[in-house]
Each structure stands twice: as structure tokens, then as C-alpha cells.
């Protein structure tokens, strides 16, 4: 059952990534089947031109990382679903309270490994070389660390009166946003500075990794947290929740594509600035996690919401003026006139 679901999910993701990769090369409106075949032909053509064995191996490793993370994905997402959907104990890879955290760390490591091995093949791209520095991955690590205490989903016996099932994205909005920005960051940065042609095979692998990354983020936004109650009952509202996750994936994908388009339109995009904003956000989310869990105590979920949103407001107040939004607005209006 789980293998069939994984295969089906992988198939869906592959088709989506082929279609997305084709958008980069031909924006003409055609039927989906033609686009899919065109994309396949383009990628196989590019693959025949890969002569360097080392490059070939690195790209293959990057692809294997994507496929592996899809394989781990179904057990990962069932941890965030209500207990009704959880599998028999034999099928569970990691079985402890911290299993969601371990799965999330594993998935993030696979994403990072894929991104780094792909960036090693394109050293000409200065944006891709930024990925190879260790400081670039600091926001991702800190965002993971800030979400860590919220993740053990079945620890509600420790927290008394856990009647609330506020979503993780509400409890820790800064951490969720930082994780999303840091995971999709390389995709945005490298695609926004595409001043020279990128090989179709690179584009395709990067699109596939973007979709996998988005589907990693979704249970964090719309999943259970450490405050959610343990109820064995099955209700139609939970089915609606699962349908909402699929819709959320599509919404997030559209947001990322719009953001990519917006960043590409800016003439003087400073990728360093984007990275610094993510770092600020992740550090503030780590601090808020520390304050919430060690200074104020874990008792009240509404207190977490209040604290995190006030910190988010502080972040917007202090950092957003430095992000020079006025300048970006001017550039957007300038560039939209000729195009």
C-alpha cells in the first residue's frame, strides 16, 4: 500500500516537474501532452551532451537524493496526519516521539545534498557557487532548530489541558516562513539571476527539488503540533484537512513561481540581501522558541501564538525598511512598462 502510494506520488511529481521545466524554455500555450513530450525530448538531448563522467555522476546523485526524499515522504506525512491514518508499526522507519523531527532533518539533509552536488556541476554560475559556502545553510539549520520543540506530535500528555490543535504555521510563523525561504532560497536565487542559458537537465532537477521541498513544508504549515489533542475518532473534518493540504501545495507552487518571476524582473537583485533577511528571520525564530519553551513555559498554545506574532511584528518593523522595499517597487513599475 505504502509503496503504491509512494510510486503514485513520485509519478505525479515527475509529471509536474517536467511541465514546470518546459515553462522556462517555451512559454507558448500548447496542450499539456505536447509540452510533456517536448520537455522529455529536450532533457534527453541535454543528457546526451553530458560528456564529463564526474558531472554526470553528480547530477545523478542529485536526482537520487530527490527520489529518496520522495520515498521517505509518505511515512513522514503520516506522522502529521490524525492517528486514524497511521500505519502498522512494522512499516514505521523511526518510532519515537521525535520521529517527525528526525524525518524532517533527514529530508532537509537530502535536499541540501542534492542542491550542493548540483551546484558543484555549474561552477560558472556565481549564484550557484554561493550555495557551496557553509554560511549559506545557516538559516535552514536555525529554522529547523526553531521548529524542533513543536514537532513531537504525541507529547500532549506532558502539556496539560491540550485542547487546542492550532496549526504549526500559526504557533511558529517565523520559523515556518524561515524554513520555507531557506529551502526554496537556492531555487529562487539561481533562477532569478539566469542571465545565461542553463542546461535543461539542471532546470528539471531543480524544479523537481522545488516541488519536493514545498511538499516537505506543507505538513509543517497545516499539520499537528505538540499542542494538538490525541483523539482516536474519525471525523469528516480530517478528510477536508487532507484535501486542503493538496490545495495548499498548488497555492504555494503558484506563489513560488510568481516570486521567481518578480525576482527575475528586478535588474539589481542582491541575492546577499535576500539571504540576510532569511538569516534574521531564522535567528529571531530560534530566540522565540527558546523564550517560549524555557523561560515562559510550554503550557499555553495561545501564549506561543502571541509571542511569535509579536516577534514577527518586530521583525517586520526593524528589517523590512532595510530591505529597501521602495526601491524594488520602483524597479517593478519601471520594468513592467516595456514588457
Partner 1 sequence: MEWFAFLIYILIAALCTLVVWFTIKVGFRVSTLSEPVLAEPENFLTTDTGSSDQTPHLYWNFTATLIVIPTLILTLGFFAEITSLINPVTGTLAVALALIWGMAFWSGMLAFPKQSPLENQIPLPEFSEPTAKESSEVQHTIDPKETS
Give the binding site for partner 1 (CB under 8 A).
24-27, 42, 45-46, 49-51, 98, 120, 123-126, 129-130, 132-135, 137-138, 141-142, 144-145, 148-149, 158, 193-201, 261, 264-265, 267-273, 276, 279-280, 283, 286-287, 289-290, 293-298, 322-323, 339
Distance set, CA 10 to CA 67, 73, 152, 215 (Å): 8, 10, 27, 12
Minimum CB separation of residue 181 from partner 1 in Å reads 16
- Is the Cα torsion angle 330, 335, 338, 339 positive or negative in sign? negative
Minimum CB separation of residue 287 from partner 1 in Å reads 6
Residue 187 or 248: the one with the smaller Cβ distance to partner 1 is 187
Minimum CB separation of residue 149 from partner 1 in Å reads 4
> Among residues 186, 197, 185, which one has the least CA distance to residue 118?
186
Residue 73 or 150: the one with the smaller Cβ distance to partner 1 is 150
Residues 6+ apart with CB under 8 A from 276: none
Q: Could you give the maximum distance between any two Cα atoms of the chain, in Å?
A: 62
Looking up cell 506574532 gives: 309
For 130-145, b/e burial (b = at least 16 CB within 10 A) is: bbeeeebbbbbbbbbb
Residue 233 or 267: the one with the smaller Cβ distance to partner 1 is 267
Answer for the pair 156, 230: CB distance below 8 angstroms, yes or no: yes
Residue 59 or 312: the one with the smaller Cβ distance to partner 1 is 59
Residue 166 or 265: the one with the smaller Cβ distance to partner 1 is 265
Minimum CB separation of residue 290 from partner 1 in Å reads 5
Answer for the pair 299, 160: CB distance below 8 angstroms, yes or no: yes
Minimum CB separation of residue 196 from partner 1 in Å reads 4
Minimum CB separation of residue 189 from partner 1 in Å reads 11
Residue 30 or 123: the one with the smaller Cβ distance to partner 1 is 123
Answer for the pair 260, 188: CB distance below 8 angstroms, yes or no: yes
Amino acid at each position: 500500500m505504502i509503496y503504491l502510494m509512494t510510486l503514485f506520488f513520485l509519478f505525479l511529481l515527475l509529471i509536474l516537474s517536467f511541465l514546470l521545466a518546459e515553462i522556462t524554455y517555451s512559454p507558448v500555450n500548447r496542450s499539456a501532452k505536447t509540452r510533456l513530450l517536448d520537455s522529455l525530448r529536450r532533457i534527453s538531448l541535454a543528457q546526451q551532451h553530458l560528456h564529463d563522467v564526474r558531472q554526470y555522476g553528480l547530477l545523478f546523485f542529485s536526482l537520487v537524493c530527490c527520489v529518496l526524499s520522495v520515498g521517505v515522504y509518505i511515512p513522514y506525512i503520516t506522522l502529521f496526519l490524525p492517528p486514524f491514518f497511521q500505519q502498522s508499526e512494522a512499516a514505521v522507519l523511526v518510532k519515537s516521539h521525535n520521529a517527525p523531527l528526525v524525518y524532517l532533518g533527514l529530508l532537509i539533509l537530502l535536499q541540501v545534498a542534492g542542491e550542493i552536488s548540483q551546484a558543484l556541476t555549474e561552477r560558472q554560475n556565481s549564484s550557484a557557487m554561493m550555495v557551496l559556502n557553509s554560511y549559506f545553510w545557516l538559516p535552514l539549520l536555525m529554522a529547523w532548530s526553531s521548529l524542533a520543540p513543536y514537532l513531537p506530535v504525541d507529547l500532549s500528555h506532558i502539556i496539560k489541558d491540550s485542547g487546542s490543535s492550532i496549526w504549526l504555521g500559526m504557533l511558529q510563523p517565523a520559523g515556518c516562513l524561515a524554513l520555507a525561504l531557506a529551502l526554496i532560497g537556492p531555487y529562487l536565487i539561481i533562477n532569478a539571476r539566469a542571465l545565461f542559458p542553463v542546461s535543461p537537465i539542471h532546470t528539471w532537477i531543480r524544479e523537481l527539488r522545488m516541488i519536493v521541498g514545498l511538499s516537505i513544508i506543507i505538513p509543517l504549515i497545516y499539520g499537528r503540533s505538540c499542542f494538538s489533542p490525541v483523539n482516536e475518532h474519525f471525523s469528516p473534518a480530517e478528510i477536508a484537512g487532507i484535501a486542503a493540504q493538496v490545495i495548499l501545495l498548488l497555492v504555494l507552487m503558484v506563489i513560488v513561481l510568481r516570486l521567481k518571476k518578480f525576482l527575475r524582473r528586478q535588474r539589481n537583485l542582491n541575492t546577499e540581501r535576500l539571504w540576510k533577511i532569511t538569516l534574521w528571520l531564522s535567528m529571531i525564530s530560534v530566540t522565540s522558541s527558546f523564550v517560549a519553551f524555557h523561560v515562559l513555559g510550554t503550557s499555553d498554545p495561545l501564549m506561543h501564538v502571541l509571542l511569535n506574532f509579536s516577534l514577527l511584528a518586530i521583525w517586520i518593523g526593524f528589517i523590512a525598511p532595510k530591505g529597501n522595499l521602495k526601491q524594488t517597487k520602483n524597479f517593478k513599475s519601471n520594468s513592467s512598462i516595456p514588457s
